[in-house]
Amino acid sequence: MAPQIQAPEESDVLREQLEYLIAHRAGNAQCGCSACQRYLRVRSALLEIFAKPSCIGVREIGSRRAKAA
């Protein structure tokens, strides 16, 4: 019977990949390879939560409707 190999935790794989991309980017400031492109996509996705919302608030919609009526 072959030994059972347990798959690594998803969070461990993600962390390892992120560490690799950060280290690559730090050592090769913008070499333009596929790893650098992946770094930019991942960075953009992770920082998206800190971006200002592009949609207007509910109060603004209500005030616009009142002006139009």
Rounded mean pLDDT, 2-28: 90
Give me the pLDDT at residue 11, please: 94
d(CA 21, CA 14): 11
Residue 40 lies in a domain: yes
Residue 63 lies in a domain: yes
Q: Is 14 helix (H, G, I), strand (E, B) or coil?
A: helix
Residue 3 lies in a domain: no
The distance of Cα 24 from the centroid of its chain, to the nearest Å, equals 17
Per-residue pLDDT tens digits for 22-58: 999 888 777 889 999 999 999 999 999 888 776 655 6
Work out the pLDDT band at 69, boundaries 50, 70, 90. low
**Residue 66 pLDDT > 80, yes or no?**
no
Give me the pLDDT at residue 68, please: 57
Closest CA to 56 of 48, 64, 67: 64
- Count the domains in the chain: 1
| DSSP-derived secondary structure letter, 69 | -
Give me the pLDDT at residue 51, please: 85
